[in-house]
Amino acid sequence: MMKNNLISILKLSCVALGIFILSQAAAAIPSLYSKAFINVDDKTYIVKPYKNISLKIILEQNNLSFNQDDIVSKDINKPIKPFQTVKIIRISKLQNEIVDEVPFRVVWSKKYNSNLRKVELQKGVEKNIKKIVDEVFYDGVLKETNILSENTESKEYYRLLLLDKNNKVEKDYDLSKAKRIKMKATAYYPGDPLAWGDGTITVLGQRMQRGIVAVDPKVISLRTRLFITGYGYGYAGDTGNLIKGKRIDLGVNNAQEEKAWMYREVTVYILEESNTY
């Protein structure tokens, strides 16, 4: 009887021991095969999590460094759990200059219709807004822009628009960039007895009319587009025996208008050479 009881006790002990060993083995399996993931620099690294080891140490063990500005999705001072994913976002900054151009804004204008072609003189303001910005990139992608300083530069100037028959802009000239010459003006008209030839055809063979002006080719080249203050658009299409140096002879409509322009000081803007008006 005692022998049977002893055998039963041994059997129960063996079963209990087996259950204990199996339970310990089962508990050890997750720790043997558990893993976590770290995403950084477009790569995924597989690491082993530990209950008592911080994420910071795990990163160091795997030679995964990060900068002070980088963003880590988990607390680096705490351990990571099995199968968790840690994302490290690389932060980079770039200081840059940005220039925003504010288009020319017209504050005053005047149209001239009587000289060869339609033109419009405009006075306006143009602005350049210069910004020094700090650009922040997340993994190479621009995420935010912070303005460090801003400076506005304003430029006020006149420009001349050449218009076609439908009043559409054919070309524009920034008069602040054009060469300027102070000149003494006289005037002549079609049929003027003092003009070259019979006063109806210019030295270039063009019909004499208002807008054609006579110049000294040593000062202003023939076939040059001009703008003359008070007079309007002009085309250097003629010469004259008395037109030497800084003299300009303005084509007008009649003798009465000629008198009004005699020996007036004007500013002549040199626009460009052209074979057409």
Residue at a domain's end among 172, 196, 225: 172
Cα 212 to Cα 231: distance, rounded to the nearest angstrom: 11
Nearest to 234 by CA among 203, 268, 201, 263: 268
Which of 52, 72, 89 is the endpoint of a domain?
A: 89
Is there a domain that residue 25 lies in? no
- What is the number of structural domains in the chain? 3
Same domain, 135 and 97: yes
Task: Give domain status of residue 43, yes or no.
Answer: yes
Domain interval for residue 72: 32-89
pTM of the model: 0.68
Q: Is 84 in the same domain as 99?
A: no
Contacts of 48-52 with CB under 8 Å at 24 or more apart are 49/79, 49/80, 49/81, 49/82, 49/84, 50/79, 51/79, 52/79
Verify that 82 and 132 share a domain, yes or no.
no
Domain at 254, CATH number:
2.40.40.10
The answer to whether the CB of 145 falls within 8 A of the CB of 104 is: no
CA atoms within 13 A on the CB side of 154: 4
Q: Residue 62's domain is classified under what CATH number?
A: 3.10.20.90
> Looking up tokens 């099995």, which residue turns up?
82
Residues 155, 135, single domain; the answer is yes
Q: Is 151 in the same domain as 215? A: no
| Residue 11, in any domain of the structure | no
The two beta strands, 247-251 and 212-214, are antiparallel
Same domain, 246 and 263: yes
Q: Are residues 66 and 105 in the same domain?
A: no
pLDDT tens-place values along the chain, 277 residues long: 555 555 555 555 555 555 555 555 444 444 445 899 999 999 999 999 988 999 999 999 999 998 999 999 999 999 999 999 999 999 999 999 999 999 999 999 999 999 999 999 999 999 999 999 999 999 999 999 999 999 999 999 999 999 998 999 999 999 999 999 999 999 999 999 888 778 899 999 999 999 999 999 999 999 999 999 999 999 999 999 999 999 999 999 999 999 999 999 999 999 999 999 9
* β-bridge mates for residue 154, sequence order: 127
In sequence order, what are the residues at sequence separation of 6 or more whose Cβ sits closer than 8 angstroms to the Cβ of residue 181? 219, 220, 246, 267, 268, 270
- The residues with which 228 forms a beta bridge, in sequence order, are 232, 268
131 and 209 belong to one structural domain: no
Q: Where are the beta strands (DSSP E) in 164-216?
A: 169-174, 179-188, 212-214
